[in-house]
Amino acid sequence: MTIVARPDIEIAKSKTMRVVEIFGPTIQGEGAYVGRPTVFIRFGGCDYRCLWCDSMHAVGQQYSHNWAKKTAQDILDDVAALTNGKPILITISGGNPAIQQLEELLTLGKAKGHVFSMETQGSVSKAWFSLLDQLTLSPKPPSSGEVTDWSKLDNCIKAGATTDMSLKVVVFDRDDYAYAQDVAKRYPNLPLFLSIGNDDTDPNSNVDKEALYAKTRQLIDWVNADQWYNVTILPQLHVLLWGNQLGV
C-alpha cells in the first residue's frame, strides 16, 4: 500500500495520547460496521457530559489517573500483540477522540494494512478526518442534556467529506425521535442509524434485555407509522451479548 503525504495535515510525530483502554479482537456493536471483527482504542477526555454516558471512565477527570500516555507506535504495538500482527479494523472511540491528535496513528496504521473507523459527536472537526476509512457522527439528542451546535457538525461533515460517513442517533424517547427526524432532514444524503438508549449503564448491573427489546419494537412502530423508510434501526449488539461489561 502506498501512503500519499497530505500537505494539509501536519503530523505531530511521537506525541503521546491519553489512552483509556485497548481491547479485542471483539466485534463492532453498532452503526455502519456492526458485526465486524475489530480492536477498540478508547481515548480519554471529552468536551461533553451526557447524562446517560456509558463511558464515564473515559470522560471524567476523576478517572484520568488511570489513563496511559502512549505514542502512535506504542498503540500499534499493543494492537499487533492482540492480533498476532494481522491487520484489522481498528475502532477509535472515547470520550471524544476528535480532541486527540491522531494523524500519526492513522498514517502508520494504514501503512500496516489496518482500517480505521471512528465515532464522535461532531463537536470538534479535524483535518485528519480525511485519513479515516469510516466516520460516524453521533450528535446527541435532548435526553443527553447537551445542545447540538449545527455549525460545528457541518464542519465535521466537511472535514470527513472524502470518508465513508454516516450519522447515528441514540433514541430514548419521543423527543429524541423527533430530533433524529430533524437530523435526517438536515442531512438527507448521509445514511442514518438509530439505536435504542440503554437506561442502565452501570458495568456491575445486569441489563434488562426485555426492556430493550420492547423499546426497539416501539421505535420500529414509530418509524413505520411515519413511513420513514430510508433509516436503519440497529440494536447495540455488544449490550445484548455482554451487557455493560467493559473491555469486550
Mean pLDDT by 10 residues, the chain (248 residues): 46 77 92 93 95 88 91 98 98 96 97 97 97 98 97 98 96 97 98 87 72 93 97 82 60
Q: How far apart are CA 60 and CA 34, in angstroms?
A: 27
Whether 246 and 34 have beta carbons less than 8 Å apart is answered as no
Indicate the pTM of the whole model: 0.87
Cell of 37: 471483527
Residue boundaries of the structural domains of the chain: 17-242
- Give me the pLDDT at residue 243, please: 63
- Give me the pLDDT at residue 55, please: 85
- Give me the pLDDT at residue 242, please: 60
Distances (CA, A) of 216 to 16, 30, 171: 40, 14, 9
What is the pairing mode between strands 17-27 and 37-43? antiparallel
Q: Return the beta strands (E) in the chain as ranges.
A: 17-27, 37-43, 68-70, 89-93, 115-120, 134-137, 164-171, 192-196, 232-233
Which residue matches cell numbers 472537526?
Answer: 125
Q: How far apart are CA 248 and CA 245, in angstroms?
A: 7
- Give me the pLDDT at residue 209, please: 85
Q: For the segment 190-209, what is each residue's pLDDT rounded down to a tens digit? A: 999 999 988 765 666 677 88
Is omega for the bond preceding 25 within 30 degrees of 0, making it cis?
A: yes
Answer CATH for 17-242 from 3.40.50.720, 3.20.20.70, 3.40.605.10, 2.120.10.30: 3.20.20.70
SS3 category, 164 = strand
- Give me the pLDDT at residue 131, please: 98
